[in-house]
Amino acid sequence: MAASLLGSLTAAFHLGSAAASNSPDQLKTRGLRFGFVGVPRRRSGLQVKAYAGNSELQEKVKSSLVVCFGEMLIDFVPTTNGLSLAEAPAFKKAPGGAPANVVVGVSRLGGTSAFIGKVGEDEFGYMLANILRQNNVNSEGMRFDPCARTALAFVTLKKDGEREFMFYRSPSADMLLQESELDFDLIKKAKIFHYGSISLITEPCKSAHIAATKAAKEAGVILSYDPNLRLPLWPSAESAREGILSIWDTADIIKISEEEISFLTHGDDPYDDNVVRKLYHPNLKVLLVTEGAEGCRYYTKEFNGRVKGLKVEAVDTTGAGDAFVAGILSQLATDTTLLQDEKRPRDALYFANACGALTVTERGAIPALPTKEAVLNALLKPVA
């Protein structure tokens, strides 16, 4: 299967290395480093003109752009697994945040992507903006807040690479994005608009999220939703369940985990197809369920099934689900007919599973996201 799949995916992705970008050392001035022009300040944040890319990229944007909305932050990942945060001898600083992981993942796989969100006007915020630039992500929709810090998350890694989070947001800049700061032109240009649920927790970001989704829907953009449940960030379990489901029926594509199925269905069996079908709304194109190392399941109106995963040695599972999402969205953005027959989505999901598998072999989310060449090589000769 892998050899034949490699041929079809190679044709689909036009094998070639990602375009090179300037390093931070080459561009010393903060304003020049990120392509900012005039950077006027406002209480609600900085209005900036950030990296948009070259003319060739702009042409591709018109047909296959994936826009990701939400949080971008710094993950501090312990250098040793199996220890508590207090016991960890050191931490690796890594850019992260689920929507940011997806937006970089799509670009690394050869797609075109753009980020909409807010960070602090601080060194971490500038670092994150530069990460987007280095990965050829359009950051015209990124905003900088002079009054709030960039969010931080400390990650506890268990011995098997699974993780728990401790967040520092009180409030962080991503929570303060306002509707007036949205780049609606960028949203309407998208082929796919992707988001999570964390941006629904507090105002004003909640209203900005709803307005952005509404604009995308009215423009005929495909809506992709990964709830990315983080219970410690919500006031209560019930408010999390209510918030996640409040926008459920507007999405065209939904990705959830087994744990999220149990949570949303009040403890029902996540492996029971009848339980999963309860979460399938009439206008949904596909419901995807990730199962870690076991792969994923897929549900459409016409068919459902399971696609196996790639077996790897897990170091850090942070960002695996986001890499999976990037893998499938990068393909759907260039061919929205992908879901019309069962064989093609199975091939696409096998590719997406490989994206997730390769991501868990390194520490940190964005640093570990694979290129399309790495994924195709893994499919040809799976990682041991």
Asked if 368 and 362 touch (Cβ cutoff 8 Å), the reply is: yes
Asked if 243 and 199 touch (Cβ cutoff 8 Å), the reply is: no
Helix (H) or strand (E) segment spanning residue 144: strand 138-145
Q: Smallest Cα–Cα separation from 100: which of 115, 119, 121, 120?
A: 115
Instruction: Give dist(CA 108, CA 119) in Å, integer.
Output: 22
Helix (H) or strand (E) segment spanning residue 93: strand 91-96
Instruction: Residue 47: count other Cβ atoms within 10 Å of its Cβ.
Output: 16
Side chain identity, residue 31: G
Angle at CA 96, nearest 5°, toward 380 and 217? 85
Asked if 345 and 338 touch (Cβ cutoff 8 Å), the reply is: yes
Instruction: Give dist(CA 237, CA 231) in Å, integer.
Output: 7
Q: Smallest Cα–Cα separation from 225: which of 273, 287, 153, 148?
A: 287
| pLDDT for 161 | 55
Phi, psi of 280 (to 5 degrees): -90, 115
Residue ranges, the chain, pLDDT below 70:
1-62, 157-163, 382-384
| pLDDT for 163 | 64
* Conformational region of residue 35, where left means phi above 0, alpha means psi within -120 to 50, and beta covers everything else: left
- pTM for the structure as a whole: 0.83
Task: Describe the strand order of the beta sheet including 41-42 as a list of residue ranges.
Answer: 41-42, 45-46, 138-145, 112-120, 65-69, 192-195, 222-225, 253-257, 286-290, 296-299, 304-307
H-type alpha helices, the chain: 2-13, 30-33, 55-64, 98-108, 123-134, 184-189, 205-218, 237-246, 258-264, 273-277, 320-332, 343-359, 372-380
Beta bridge partners of 96: 73
Instruction: Give dist(CA 80, CA 78) in Å, integer.
Output: 5
Asked if 52 and 138 touch (Cβ cutoff 8 Å), the reply is: yes
* Conformational region of residue 113, where left means phi above 0, alpha means psi within -120 to 50, and beta covers everything else: beta
Instruction: Give dist(CA 15, CA 270) in Å, integer.
Output: 37
pLDDT in tens, 347-371: 999 999 999 999 999 988 899 999 9
| pLDDT for 13 | 43
CA gyration radius for the chain?
19
pLDDT in tens, 239-272: 999 999 999 999 999 999 999 999 999 999 999 9
Instruction: Give dist(CA 254, CA 35) in Å, integer.
Output: 34
Query: What Å distances lie between residue 115 and 159, 194, 366, 374, CA to CA?
Result: 33, 10, 14, 24
Instruction: Residue 178: count other Cβ atoms within 10 Å of its Cβ.
Output: 18
| pLDDT for 174 | 97
Instruction: Give dist(CA 118, CA 125) in Å, integer.
Output: 9
Instruction: Give dist(CA 149, CA 241) in Å, integer.
Output: 28
Asked if 342 and 305 touch (Cβ cutoff 8 Å), the reply is: yes
| pLDDT for 363 | 85
